[in-house]
Amino acid sequence: MPGLAEAFDRIGLALEHHLPVSHAAGAAIAITDRHETLGVVVRGFADVASGLPVRPETRFMIGSISKSFAAMVVLQEVEAGRLDLHVSVNELLPWLELPEPFGPITLHHLLTHTSGLAAGTEDAPTGLGAATLLREVPPTFAPGERFWYSNDAYKLVGLVLERVSGVPAHELIRDRVLGPLGMTSSVAAITEDVRTDLATGYEPMFTDRPAQLRHPLVPATFTVSSTVDGSIVSNVIDMAAHARLLLNRGTGPRGPVLSEAMFDLMTTPFVAQPGDPRTSYGYGLVVGEDERGPWIGHSGGMVGYTGFTAVEPTSGIGIDILQNGSGSKEGIVRFALDTVRACILDAPLPEVWAPPEPTSIPDATTFVGEYVDPEDGDVLRIRTDTDGLRITIGEASGRLERDPLTPEVGNQFLVVQPELERFPIRFGRGADGHAQEAFHGDRWFERDGREPPERPPKEWSAYTGLYRNDDPWMPTLRVVLRKGRLALQFPVELSDEAGEAELQPLADGWFAVGETWQPRRIRFDRLVDGKAVVAEFNAGRWFRSFED
């Protein structure tokens, strides 16, 4: 194809721009059409300490992209008449005893993330462990009513497959999907044996604060897993075969892996995803549409790894990117697809993409001004400077940066200053679009100096502080009290729970984390010297740290 070499040269240059603003040591990209891999681009290191570079054959953990493989096996079982998508999971797993206060939770609900189950029960690294912990975390909305992403739901899918077939789920995926697609370098279980040719996973050094680009990367905790929500190890060469399966509507090199009817079912947009009416979830796949046309794909993340796969049915091309680290992949993925699409259409190639500078903040002037703490009169100042926006609280001053882990730019920014970096700065806007209040940790500042809020219940002060757990996905939780309300912060943005949410008190002593319909619950226990020692969150336990 004329111009293809130049197209991949440009993608390589763009990937070189991408890595420095991504918390990743290396990355690999493969682009395919319906018939063959068109090219592979690699940059960075598979292992920093040894200087080993990423190669096309380098394997990564693909995380939640694995869900589509499990969904295929389920649909094979449905077509064979051995599984029913619409009976209670408690019938399929009689030992489960899953609470169903709003009605039966079915495979359909599990596959579409509409079960009302928690995203993850955190204390259990195994599928059986997570399943039994779910007995303690009842769903919070009627099945099918809302979308709430749940890894634990897919863990139940894997357990159903094992019970119906009598075969471990990772072997089913190997025999039913990986083998027929010729994905010979891929396995569906993460064991110690895969480490010999696996890229080293990397994550930012600190676990008690948001990651910043200036923070060093360190090797991530290695996780062993065989649950179908995210346990495939693969490389971009093999993953291109998976993309071709999606482009060819369920057909692989040896024939159909899924029938046309089952592929249509898998890619049905069953439920819209929050915040984007053009993006829905099918069975193990996101089904979307943008200005370039329809697309099908999924993101993935494991501790130390992230990835993304997407295909465009109209143009007939697909992309896979795998990284040993984190960071948004939206910009590089869009550019790579646009570049190859232009080449196919014999159109001019786009200029090499580069991500915006971290200090580039749209509408920066809407944040500028002075904000006063109504409790003690301290002033927080935001001003423009040569390097963007700067924040000053007392004697400490630093610049604001966009968060490289999230592609969108909204009302939250990182504070690049050692004394202030433990918390992002969050703004609340008024009706005119200008920021009217600012939050930094447990501090609240307002522009117009209104009266302090009502005093919270006295016992709430016992809950504030930093809590730790050995779970690598969410090693820390922080509880702050400000503006008369409790808020739970997730400093490490590795999990689906990342960010911050206000705590809503419930009648039974628990708090809802965020809106009450969301399946997130926390309570505090074991007071010592007026401070809670344990924070129980979604059946996991975090313990108060000395650091606060």
Nearest CA to 108 out of 348, 268, 299 is that of 268
Give the domain ranges of the chain: 1-57+307-311+330-355, 61-187+222-230+250-278, 364-446, 458-544
pLDDT in tens, the chain (548 residues): 668 999 999 999 999 999 998 899 999 999 999 999 999 999 999 999 999 999 999 999 999 999 999 999 999 999 999 999 999 999 999 999 999 999 999 999 999 999 999 998 767 778 899 999 999 999 999 999 999 999 999 999 999 999 999 999 999 999 999 999 999 999 999 999 999 999 999 999 999 998 898 999 999 999 999 999 999 999 999 999 999 999 999 999 999 999 999 999 999 999 998 888 899 999 999 999 999 999 999 999 999 999 999 999 999 999 999 999 998 899 999 999 999 999 999 999 999 999 988 898 888 999 999 999 988 889 999 999 888 899 999 999 999 998 766 655 578 899 999 999 999 999 999 989 999 999 999 999 999 866 677 789 999 999 999 999 988 888 999 999 988 999 999 876 544 455 789 999 998 899 999 999 999 999 999 999 999 999 999 989 999 999 86
Q: Tokens in use for 132?
A: 């039994």
Assign domain 458-544 to a CATH class: mainly beta
Equal fold, 61-187+222-230+250-278 vs 458-544: no
DSSP string, 466-495: EEE-S-SS--EEEEEEETTEEEEEE-STTS
Give the tokens for residue 84: 């029913």
Q: Given 3.20.20.70, 3.40.50.10490, 3.40.50.720, 3.40.710.10, which CATH number is that of 61-187+222-230+250-278? A: 3.40.710.10
How far does Cα 14 stand from its chain's mean position? 23
Report the CATH architecture of 364-446.
Answer: Beta Barrel (2.40)
Q: What distance in Å separates the CA atoms of residue 391 and residue 368, rounded to the nearest whole number?
A: 9
